[in-house]
């Protein structure tokens, strides 16, 4: 038996260490948390993505009493962007979360379903999507969703 090691690579930076484009996206994600409909959990998530043409699209989680019927912030932003600008790859995605005390200090990470959706967008356009996981204490910056989903499954794996 051979033991294998999987490594992920990310930066942990403060808000003032982000580029102007990244900081703008982080602010848009934080602001998008106020658009969440989180009546049941009180956990509001906002996402903001930048398309290759520079356009920003936001999303926010939407809950429903029938829990599986809701949708995460990341997917609302991605699906909205794909429905309206299908020719535009996604360059960067920022995610922020808030609760009743305001924006969360620690960055939150996308759920497995959102990771798979982001992965398939990367695969579709053959372009990595920079991921910014935002908290008031700092931001995790990843060059690709593959660092969050190292043993990934895409269309090519079905052939």
CATH of the domain at 99: 3.40.140.10
Distance between CA 140 and CA 93 in Å, rounded?
12
Question: Does a structural domain hold residue 17?
Answer: yes
Residue 109 · residue 72 · CB < 8 Å: no
Helices (H), 15-141: 20-32, 73-84, 112-125
91: helix, strand or coil? strand
Question: Does a structural domain hold residue 107?
Answer: yes
Q: Is the pTM of this model over 0.85?
A: yes
Distance between CA 36 and CA 104 in Å, rounded?
15
Question: Does a structural domain hold residue 125?
Answer: yes
Question: Does a structural domain hold residue 67?
Answer: yes
User: Domain range spanning residue 30?
Assistant: 13-129
Write out pLDDT tens, residues 114-159. 999 999 999 999 999 999 999 999 999 999 999 999 888 888 888 8
Question: Does a structural domain hold residue 142?
Answer: no
**Number of domains composing the chain:** 1
| The pLDDT of residue 98 | 98
Catalytic residue among 2, 7, 21, 74: 74
Most distant CA atoms of the chain, gap in Å: 50
Stretches in the chain below the pLDDT threshold 70: none
Burial of 89 (0-12, 13-18, 19+ CB in 10 A): middle
Question: Does a structural domain hold residue 4?
Answer: no
CA torsion through residues 111, 115, 27, 15, sign: positive
Question: Does a structural domain hold residue 24?
Answer: yes
Span between the terminal Cα atoms of the chain, in Å: 27
Burial of 4 (0-12, 13-18, 19+ CB in 10 A): exposed
Annotated catalytic residue 122:
no
Task: Give the residue from 109, 93, 108 showing the smallest Cα distance to 58.
Answer: 93
């Amino acid at each position: 038996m051979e033991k294998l090691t999987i490594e992920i690579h990310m930066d942990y930076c403060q808000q003032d260490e982000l580029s102007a484009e990244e900081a703008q996206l982080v602010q848009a994600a934080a602001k998008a948390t106020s658009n969440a409909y989180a009546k049941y959990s009180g956990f509001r998530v906002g996402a903001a993505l930048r398309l290759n043409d520079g356009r920003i699209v936001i999303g926010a989680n939407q809950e429903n009493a029938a829990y599986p019927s809701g949708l995460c912030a990341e997917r609302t932003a991605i699906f909205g962007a794909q429905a309206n600008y299908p020719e535009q790859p996604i360059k960067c995605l920022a995610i922020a979360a808030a609760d009743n005390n305001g924006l969360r200090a620690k960055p939150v990470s996308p759920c497995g379903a959102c990771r798979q959706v982001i992965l398939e967008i990367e695969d579709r356009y053959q372009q990595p999507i920079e991921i910014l996981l935002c908290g008031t204490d700092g931001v995790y910056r990843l060059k690709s969703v593959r660092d969050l989903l190292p043993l990934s499954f895409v269309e090519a794996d079905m052939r």
